Amino acid sequence: MGNERLTQQISFLVEIDKLKTVLRKTFIMDRSRHENTAEHSWHVSLMAVLLLEHANEPSLDLHRIIRMLLLHDLVEIDAGDTFAYDTVGYQDKEERENAAAERLFGILPEDQRDEWMTLWREFEDGETPEAKYAAALDRLQPVIHNHYTGGVSWKNNGIVRSQVLKRLQPVREASETLWKFTQDILQKSIDLGILRDDPVSTKEE
Amino acid sequence: MGNERLTQQISFLVEIDKLKTVLRKTFIMDRSRHENTAEHSWHVSLMAVLLLEHANEPSLDLHRIIRMLLLHDLVEIDAGDTFAYDTVGYQDKEERENAAAERLFGILPEDQRDEWMTLWREFEDGETPEAKYAAALDRLQPVIHNHYTGGVSWKNNGIVRSQVLKRLQPVREASETLWKFTQDILQKSIDLGILRDDPVSTKEE
């Protein structure tokens, strides 16, 4: 019985190795290549530990936040990384990711399948303070990458400030300090010419 | 004051991105390339969540284990990955890694520097039940990779069973179930011809 559980768990560990081959639009800081989703998940998990003090909500459950962030993108193994600004890709994103979650977490023993599925849904639903803080960091991390890589992914994809600001709304809700930081880093990116500002007529405040 | 802390924290987040470029001897499961240390850290952190039930010691602090595993290899940014079976590299490993820890964690605000340094030392000292369990997984993960990639890293480096068994002793102490699994997977690897057995004269029981 114990052995059967372990066999399922090892199969799962082998399967999720595939996340190391899912590439994001973001570049790693030395600009040598695209970032993959496994290393992104590592980075954003450490970021959650590091920046916890800036959350608006006091006494968040950091342990749950980290577990959520470690597994939040596993569905990309089947569903791929949907680029943040890909409106077509977003149309069936939910459906693709639900199917991926069913298959992937289905490899696990039942109790763990349910537990991991619950954590993943908490992140997706984005309603608990923990999920909101986790989402904020997940959105903020690529902005920092873009800023420090000369905006390569913004430029490649013709992104303008209002699109980033819209995408970064979860930061606004999760942390006053990080929201101010977000606005500052975007302004600095525009001043450096690595992010395009909106045409005057469509500018958001 | 808050801003100065955040500036230090963001500098640290930018700096640790370099872990994505530190390559290990291990290959990812599809054998397309070497694994990097950032994605290894992600994988082994999830492994810790998944396999906790197999730890000999009851009621380990999983939260501390995960944080330890997320940061345990950051020192490789300066010190590089010392291959598990590199006896020359191990001679000054401690010195190189201590200097790396001082520099890297020194980027952080003082309280966080102390906290992260303490966690890292706990892992390195390997004396608490949490550090022992974390070390066991850190040793076991590349064995699973080797088994599922046809022993490519074992073969490339002329490794034999007794070397792996010696390296895997932390598993023996941390988990009876995982120690049995380790012995089984090594026997299976030998049967498949992807790991060399020891000459009869040096065989360990």
- ipTM value, please give it: 0.94
Q: Which among A6, A12, A28 is the nearest to B20, CB-wise?
A: A28
Contact B14 A148 (CB under 8 A): yes
Residue of B nearest to A7 (CA): B181
Q: Which residues of A are less than 8 Å from B46 in CB distance?
A: 13, 16, 70-71
**Inter-chain residue contact A67 with B49, CB threshold 8 Å:** yes
Q: Which residue of B has its CA nearest to A109?
A: B50
Q: Is B50 in contact with A112 (Cβ distance < 8 A)?
A: yes
User: What is residue B203's predicted lDDT score, i.e. its pLDDT?
Assistant: 54
For residues A86 and B192, the model is more confident at B192
Backbone angles phi, psi at A62, to 5 degrees: -60, -35
CB contact under 8 A, B32 and A16: no
Interface test with A, best of B9, B50, B52, B73 (most A CBs within 10 A): B50
Q: Which residue of B has its CA nearest to A18?
A: B29
pLDDT digits (tens, 9 = 90+) for A175-189: 999 999 999 999 999
How many Å lie between the alpha carbon of B102 and the closest alpha carbon of chain A?
Answer: 17
CA nearest B116 in A: which residue? A50
Find the closest chain A residue to B14 by CA distance: A29
* pLDDT higher than 90, residue A66: yes
Residue B77's Cα: distance from chain center in Å? 14
Given this model, what pLDDT does residue B5 score? 97
Q: Could A42 and B39 be called an inter-chain contact, meaning their C-beta atoms sit closer than 8 Å?
A: yes
Beta strands in chain A (DSSP E): 23-27, 34-36
What's the mean pLDDT when you consider all of chain A?
Answer: 94
Number of cross-chain residue pairs from A and B with Cβ atoms under 8 Å apart:
122
Whether A1 shows a pLDDT value over 50: the answer reads no
Gap between the Cα atoms of B38 and B23, Å rounded: 9
A34-36 and A23-27: which strand pairing?
Answer: antiparallel
Contact A144 B70 (CB under 8 A): no
Are the beta carbons of B42 and A46 separated by less than 8 Å? no
The residue range of the domain holding B91 is 4-202
Identify the closest residue of chain B to A2 by CA–CA distance: B177
Tokens standing for B193?
């011809």
- Domain tally, chain B: 1
**Cβ–Cβ gap A10/B181 under 8 Å:** yes
- Give the torsion sign (CA, B99, B105, B110, B116): negative
pLDDT at A205 over 60: no
**What pLDDT is recorded for position B81?**
84
Question: Are the CB atoms for B134 and B49 separated by under 8 Å?
Answer: no
Residue A158 DSSP class: T
DSSP string covering chain B, please?
-HHHHHHHHHHHHHHGGGGGGPEEEEEPTTSSSEEEHHHHHHHHHHHHHHTGGG-SSSS--HHHHHHHHHHTTTTHHHH-PPPTT-HHHHHTHHHHHHHHHHHHHTTS-HHHHHHHHHHHHHHHHT-SHHHHHHHHHHHHHHHHHHHHTTTHHHHHTT-BHHHHHHHTHHHHHH-HHHHHHHHHHHHHHHHTTSSBPPPGGG---
Best probe of the A interface among B13, B19, B180, by most A CBs < 10 A, is B13
Q: Closest-CA residue in chain B for A42?
A: B42
- From the list B6, B16, B112, which residue is nearest A181 (CB)? B6
Contacts of B20 in chain A (CB under 8 A): 28, 35, 39, 43
Neighbour-count burial for A163-183, b at 16+ CB within 10 Å, e otherwise: bbbebbebbbbbbebbbbbbe
- Interval A136-174: pLDDT, tens: 999 999 999 999 999 999 999 999 999 999 999 999 999
CATH at residue A62 = 1.10.3210.10
pLDDT in tens, chain B (205 residues): 448 999 999 999 999 999 999 999 999 999 999 999 999 999 999 999 999 999 999 899 999 999 999 999 999 999 988 887 888 777 888 899 999 999 999 999 999 999 999 999 999 999 999 999 999 999 999 999 999 999 999 999 999 999 999 999 999 999 999 999 999 999 999 999 999 999 876 555 4
| B70: chain A residues, CB-CB within 8 Å | 42, 45-46, 49, 66
Residue A74 DSSP SS3:
coil
What SS3 class is residue A45?
A: helix
- pTM score: 0.95
| Chain A residues inside the 8 Å CB shell of B120 | none
Cα–Cα dist B168/A39, whole Å: 25
Residues of chain B contacting A43 with CB distance shorter than 8 Å: 13, 16-17, 20, 38
Inform me whether the pLDDT recorded for A24 exceeds 70: yes
Strand B34-36 relative to strand A23-27, pairing: unpaired
Q: How confident is the model at residue A27 (pLDDT cuts 50, 70, 90)?
A: very high
